[in-house]
């Protein structure tokens, strides 16, 4: 049995249930926490019961659910002129283009930041190929990873997008910070 002692209500007539409802709310919260502890309730249990809540999203949302799939990902092959890569980048709305080798494996990434840094040092981009400016070992995340882990990588490296790769290092999509923060599938199934 749980008891609370009588409390005076907050109104001057002591009739409007204010303090008494707060006391019962505190008692109910304490009872709920004790029950959770006794049953060994874990974060994953909460996520399972409330998948649409903040914790549920953190613990269950995969990068695959939020990424732009390969079929809609801005991509070029090594060897293309920089001008072609920039055209593809401009059509992709992400400020990047994924670069693949002849076998379709990830070779690098070219971002608008790479381009800006190059233009600060040099006056022209004429006669350059995509591999002359691309980052050769871009940050990636494996397909099937939790979206919250993608955010951690982005925060650590101060970037806004990651290339999602399969086990064979083939790009299967791009996940952007805005897609994660929006929390919904932005790009369709592929």
| 114-173 per-position pLDDT tens digit | 888 888 877 677 778 899 889 999 999 999 999 889 999 999 999 999 999 999 999 999
Reply yes or no on whether the pLDDT at 3 is more than 90: no
Two structure tokens written together for 56? 């549920």
pLDDT recorded at residue 153: 96
Instruction: Provide the 3-class DSSP secondary structure of residue 172.
Output: strand
Q: Could you give the C-alpha distances from 153 to 82, 142, 149, 176, in angstroms and in order?
A: 28, 12, 6, 12
The answer to whether residues 96 and 161 touch, using CB atoms and an 8 Å cutoff, is: yes
pTM of the model: 0.70
Question: Cα-atom radius of gyration of the chain, to the nearest Å?
Answer: 26
The answer to whether residues 44 and 35 touch, using CB atoms and an 8 Å cutoff, is: no
Domain extents in the chain: 19-60, 63-182
Percent of the chain with pLDDT over 70: 88
Kindly indicate whether the domain formed by 63-182 is annotated with CATH number 3.10.580.10.
yes
Q: What is the pLDDT of residues 14-44, one digit of tens each?
A: 999 998 888 889 888 988 888 889 988 887 7
pLDDT recorded at residue 186: 45
Q: What is the pLDDT of residues 62-83, one digit of tens each?
A: 899 899 999 999 999 999 998 8
Report the alpha-carbon angle 181-86-184, nearest 5.
15
The answer to whether residues 168 and 101 touch, using CB atoms and an 8 Å cutoff, is: no
Phi, psi values for residue 112, rounded to 5°: -60, -30
Reply yes or no on whether the pLDDT at 189 is more than 70: no
Two structure tokens written together for 186? 């932005």
Beta strand 161-165 pairing with 140-142: parallel
């Amino acid at each position: 049995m749980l008891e609370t002692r009588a409390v005076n209500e907050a109104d001057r007539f002591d009739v409007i249930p204010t303090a008494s409802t707060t006391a019962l709310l505190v008692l109910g919260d304490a009872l709920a926490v004790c029950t959770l502890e006794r049953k060994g309730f874990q974060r994953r249990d909460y996520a399972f019961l409330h998948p649409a809540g903040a914790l549920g999203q953190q613990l269950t949302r995969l990068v695959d659910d939020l990424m732009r799939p390969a079929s809609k990902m801005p991509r070029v092959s090594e060897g293309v002129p920089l001008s072609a890569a920039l055209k593809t980048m401009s059509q992709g709305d992400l400020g990047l283009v994924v670069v693949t080798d002849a076998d379709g494996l990830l070779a690098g990434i070219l971002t608008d930041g790479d381009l800006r840094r190059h233009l600060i040092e040099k006056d022209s981009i004429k006669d350059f190929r995509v591999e002359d400016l691309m980052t050769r070992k871009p940050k990636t995340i494996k397909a099937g990873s939790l979206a919250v882990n993608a955010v951690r990588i982005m925060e650590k490296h101060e970037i806004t997008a990651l290339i999602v790769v399969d086990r064979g290092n083939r790009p299967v999509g791009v996940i952007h910070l805005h897609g994660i923060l929006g929390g919904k599938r932005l790009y369709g199934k592929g």
